[in-house]
Structure 1
Amino acid sequence: MAITDEFLPVPVPESLSATYLVPTARGSGAKPAEAVAALGERLSDPVGDLALQMIDSPLMTVDTRPVSQFPELPPDLLAAFGATPGQLEQLRTANELVVVQAGYRPGWPPVHEWSARAVAAAIAQSLDGDLIDVFSLQFLDPATALRSLPDNDGRLRLVDWILVPYSPTDTGLWFTTKGLRRFGLLELQAQEVPAQFTRAWGAIMTGAARRLLRIWTESLTEQDVPAFVQLPIETTVTGHDIAVAYGSPERHDSAGSAGLRLDLDPATDPDADSFLTLLPPAGQAAAPAEYFAQICTRLFGSGQPEIRYTRPSDAMARAVETARRSLRSARDRFLIGGLPPGVQLVVKYGLATDEGQEFVWASVTSWSNPGRIVATSTSDAASDPTVRVGTPVVVETADVVDWALLDGRGVIEGGWTQAVLDERL
């Protein structure tokens, strides 16, 4: 296929590899083929056969090494990706690591990943322990690892193979994927995502990963690995893509869809990752934050806090007083980076209208001036057409009536006025 303005040439690696570890404190004595055979029907026939073939080939190695011979794995990162205290204790007390490594060419199926994970899960099961996926720095118990492998019909959930971490920036949330490189594809990223759409955008990123991975692997069906695969610059993510990625194709209306544009963001540091950046389609007038909010709402419904006109009351006055009394402390924590990872500071402020004040929320991006907050609106204002989800706003600190800390699940601190409103319902 010739390179055109409609396609993005993405380089294909010559080979791929997978590494899994099984910590043990009592010696492994691991016999991979016997461990795999002992799983019986817990492994699908295709994966079981594949694992046994790989064990007997030079494409897989299984060896036991002293812990001191393997680079130290950071406990804080393992915990951030879901490791339990018990799993961290397994690693801390381990004398040896069973190391399962496999390599294969890019394409589908990802033989290196399926076989290495199956063998590592089988060994962990035989040792009454857990395994570590080195690529994602995740601990997996054997049952979880086995459930992630394809069934007899080759079906699997992509969410079991990729993560979608995010972190706050001055302009919203920065999302990336971690897992597409298992299959040779560059990871995805998106910036300026409004904080209230954390879950919805994570699902859209996963759906986009599924759509692009399908195009990628369908381009790698020939025996000779091409130097490049041409991905479409403009792509559409559907509700069906998202549902299939989560393993529930029947649970989402496949009619919903959202257009996205791809841009290649090559790394300038040789040790850093390059990304495929998700952007609004060409010709889209809305800013990225505003467009991302629109498509999240289109596919999943509104994620913005309710806008309410309220009448004064003693309870509301106390709530506003509590919020304003602690607002300086909230600002101090924001400025020194004292908020937990993935948590956003939002403020609620009033807009003057003929009917009184309309209260809307905004996500703080900068607060260097004590009297003025630079933020991104998380609400559409009924009274001001310039205040839309994802648009930048400047808020006078004196107009703030409430603040809250939000993570992907909701309010974890603050939100006193909202609590009063909720009690009235």
Structure 2
Amino acid sequence: MLITDDFLPVPVPESLSATYLVPMAGLPRVSAKTAVRALAGRLAEPVYGLAAQMLDSPLMSVDTRPIAEFPALPPDLLTAFGATGAQLDRLAAATHLVVVQAEYRPGWPPAHEWAARAVAAAVADTVGGDVVDVFGLQFLDPATALRSLPDDQGRIRLVDWVLVPYSSDADGLWFTTKGLRRFGLLELQTQGVPDHLTRAWGAVMTGAARRLLRDWTDGLAGEEVPAFVQLPVLATITGHDIAVAYGNPEQHGATAPVLLRLELDPATDPEADSFLSLRPPPGHPGPAGRYFAAACATLFNGIQPDVRYARRGDAMSAAIATARAGLDDIRARFLAGGLPGESQLVVKYGLPADEGPEYVWAGVTSWESPERIVGASVTDADTDPTVRIGSPVTIEATDVVDWAILDGTGVTEGGWTQAVLDADDRPTLP
């Protein structure tokens, strides 16, 4: 193996395993094979066939055990990763667990994960129960588990398989991934992230996971599993990586790439995990947090991904009126291809919320009807869990309060409400 300063050798495990649980009161009504056959037409053919094949092989086992024989699942961690009270109640009432386990070699596709999740979802579907992903300590209802599996082209949303938890420490926020080990890769971490970049850096971590996972699986593409895969020390992350990780590959994102340096942080405790750390590239002056903020500004085209609520006042009212007055003109320019090259049109619109509208941004992809805009979200929403970075959205023009044209340097036209929020001053109106 060639070792250079440009690549980092990362060890490859000999095999990978997946474990899923289906809690139930009583014994299963049907066999796992019968449950999987009931999914014909609901699962993409590659996964349906894979699940059936692995069920007939020694690579997968499906056992039903009294729940007392299985180590107790920690309710506090399950809650932290999204478990509802109803799901925890069903777990407490369960008498048995169906345990689905699969093993496979590192590489792509991750047959152990896809097949085990499909079989567990099939079994849970027959009893209206839940799937517990042991690796992620997550509850999944059967429909959610099935939606996370690959489509006919083998595509997945990485956010369905990799979580990005974070916590505070003395230097800021500490982000990690939880899910890359499913594929044999070490988890990522970033330390010293400024507090105001919570959502933005979570998206960057997800995009970085997508980029490095692609490099990782490319290194495992041969017939023999290597002992190491060499990952680039300088990882290049783009807006497209983020969009693809969130399941919207059509949105390439007119953003400049950012560089992140990859370092191996081996665990000193044999019981602890080693990490691949994401740091600023060599030669960056100043604290790491400053670079992370600049990277987010680049990847999100100058639009702050943090949720902002419009403030009342004459300046904001004037800004919204100005933006709305220009909607017909900017739509005509967009349809005529009259916007500057390598630029992107984004609109800001309101989502209903108990405390008043939450305003978020979306990139415009189609505007055939004056009343309706089709686009992709460039922010995560607090009030609507379906609105995530890269997710497709349909917007009523009456809900739009602002628009902007972006290039690689930021806002070049529009953005009047953002000017009020950022500068707390009356915008300059045309």
User: What is the TM-score when the length of structure 2 is the normalising length?
Assistant: 0.71
| Separation (CA, whole Å) in 1 of partners of 2:169 and 2:204 | 20
- 2:10 is matched with 10
- 1:343 is matched with none
- 2:262 is matched with 262
- 1:374 is matched with none
| Separation (CA, whole Å) in 2 of partners of 1:305 and 1:298 | 18
- 1:222 is matched with 222
- 2:234 is matched with 234
Q: CA deviation at 1:147?
A: 0.4
| Separation (CA, whole Å) in 2 of partners of 1:285 and 1:225 | 40
Q: Report the 3-state secondary structure (helix = DSSP H, G, I; strand = E; otherwise coil) of the residue aligned with 1:173.
A: strand
Q: CA deviation at 1:90?
A: 1.0
Q: CA deviation at 1:26?
A: 2.4
- 1:19 is matched with 19
Q: Structure 1 residues 45 and 424, CA, compared in 2 at 3 Å: closer, same or farther?
A: same
- 1:142 is matched with 142
- 1:56 is matched with 56
| Deviation by residue 1:32-79 (Cα, 9 ceiling, x = unmatched) | 111011012111000000000000000000010011111110111111
Give the RMSD, CA atoms, in angstroms: 2.3
Cα contact 2:307–2:382 (8 A) shared by 1: no
| Separation (CA, whole Å) in 2 of partners of 1:4 and 1:424 | 54
Q: Report the 3-state secondary structure (helix = DSSP H, G, I; strand = E; otherwise coil) of the residue aligned with 1:249.
A: coil
Q: Report the 3-state secondary structure (helix = DSSP H, G, I; strand = E; otherwise coil) of the residue aligned with 1:168.
A: strand
| Separation (CA, whole Å) in 2 of partners of 1:190 and 1:17 | 26
- 1:123 is matched with 123
Task: Show the 5 A alignment for 1:272-291.
Answer: 272-291=272-291
| Deviation by residue 1:91-116 (Cα, 9 ceiling, x = unmatched) | 10000000000000000000000000
Q: CA deviation at 1:225?
A: 1.0
- 1:107 is matched with 107
Larger radius of gyration: 1
- 1:153 is matched with 153
Letter of the 1:297 counterpart: A
Q: CA deviation at 1:302?
A: 5.3
Q: CA deviation at 1:305?
A: 10
Q: CA deviation at 1:264?
A: 0.2
| Deviation by residue 1:146-180 (Cα, 9 ceiling, x = unmatched) | 00000111111000000000001111100000000
Q: CA deviation at 1:286?
A: 3.2
Letter of the 2:234 counterpart: E
| Deviation by residue 1:205-233 (Cα, 9 ceiling, x = unmatched) | 00000000000001111222111111110
Cα contact 1:59–1:103 (8 A) shared by 2: yes
- 1:185 is matched with 185
Q: What percent identity do the matched residue pairs reach? A: 66
| Deviation by residue 1:331-388 (Cα, 9 ceiling, x = unmatched) | xxxxxxxxxxxxxxxxxxxxxxxxxxxxxxxxxxxxxxxxxxxxxxxxxxxxxxxxxx
| Deviation by residue 1:304-333 (Cα, 9 ceiling, x = unmatched) | 899xxxxxxxxxxxxxxxxxxxxxxxxxxx
Q: Report the 3-state secondary structure (helix = DSSP H, G, I; strand = E; otherwise coil) of the residue aligned with 1:21.
A: strand
Higher mean C-alpha displacement, 175-184 vs 37-46:
37-46
- 2:34 is matched with 34
Q: CA deviation at 1:80?
A: 0.8
- 1:361 is matched with none
Letter of the 2:80 counterpart: A
| Separation (CA, whole Å) in 1 of partners of 2:234 and 2:164 | 21
Q: Report the 3-state secondary structure (helix = DSSP H, G, I; strand = E; otherwise coil) of the residue aligned with 1:129.
A: coil
Letter of the 1:87 counterpart: Q
Letter of the 1:164 counterpart: V
| Separation (CA, whole Å) in 2 of partners of 1:237 and 1:179 | 19
Letter of the 1:169 counterpart: D
Q: Report the 3-state secondary structure (helix = DSSP H, G, I; strand = E; otherwise coil) of the residue aligned with 1:101.
A: strand
Aligned length: 317
Cα contact 1:296–1:302 (8 A) shared by 2: no
| Separation (CA, whole Å) in 1 of partners of 2:30 and 2:188 | 37
Q: Structure 1 residues 286 and 302, CA, compared in 2 at 3 Å: closer, same or farther?
A: farther
Structure 2: which 5+ runs fail to align? 309-380, 384-419
Q: CA deviation at 1:273?
A: 0.3
- 2:363 is matched with none
| Separation (CA, whole Å) in 2 of partners of 1:3 and 1:29 | 55
Corresponding position: 1:211 with 2:183 = no
Q: CA deviation at 1:29?
A: 3.7
Q: Report the 3-state secondary structure (helix = DSSP H, G, I; strand = E; otherwise coil) of the residue aligned with 1:116.
A: helix
| Separation (CA, whole Å) in 2 of partners of 1:85 and 1:105 | 37
- 1:247 is matched with 247
- 1:77 is matched with 77
- 1:413 is matched with none
| Separation (CA, whole Å) in 1 of partners of 2:137 and 2:69 | 18
Q: Report the 3-state secondary structure (helix = DSSP H, G, I; strand = E; otherwise coil) of the residue aligned with 2:191.
A: strand
| Separation (CA, whole Å) in 2 of partners of 1:258 and 1:199 | 17
Higher mean C-alpha displacement, 283-292 vs 187-196:
283-292
Task: Show the 5 A alignment for 1:305-324.
Answer: none
Q: Structure 1 residues 281 and 422, CA, compared in 2 at 3 Å: closer, same or farther?
A: closer
Q: Structure 1 residues 24 and 422, CA, compared in 2 at 3 Å: closer, same or farther?
A: farther
Cα contact 1:207–1:241 (8 A) shared by 2: yes
Q: Report the 3-state secondary structure (helix = DSSP H, G, I; strand = E; otherwise coil) of the residue aligned with 2:50.
A: helix
Letter of the 1:182 counterpart: R
| Separation (CA, whole Å) in 2 of partners of 1:178 and 1:305 | 25
| Separation (CA, whole Å) in 1 of partners of 2:30 and 2:70 | 18
| Separation (CA, whole Å) in 2 of partners of 1:249 and 1:112 | 25
| Separation (CA, whole Å) in 2 of partners of 1:218 and 1:123 | 33
| Separation (CA, whole Å) in 2 of partners of 1:51 and 1:198 | 37
- 2:395 is matched with none
| Deviation by residue 1:162-207 (Cα, 9 ceiling, x = unmatched) | 0000001111100000000000000000001011111110011000
Q: Report the 3-state secondary structure (helix = DSSP H, G, I; strand = E; otherwise coil) of the residue aligned with 2:273.
A: coil
Q: CA deviation at 1:422?
A: 8.3
| Separation (CA, whole Å) in 2 of partners of 1:242 and 1:13 | 27
- 2:393 is matched with none
- 2:170 is matched with 170
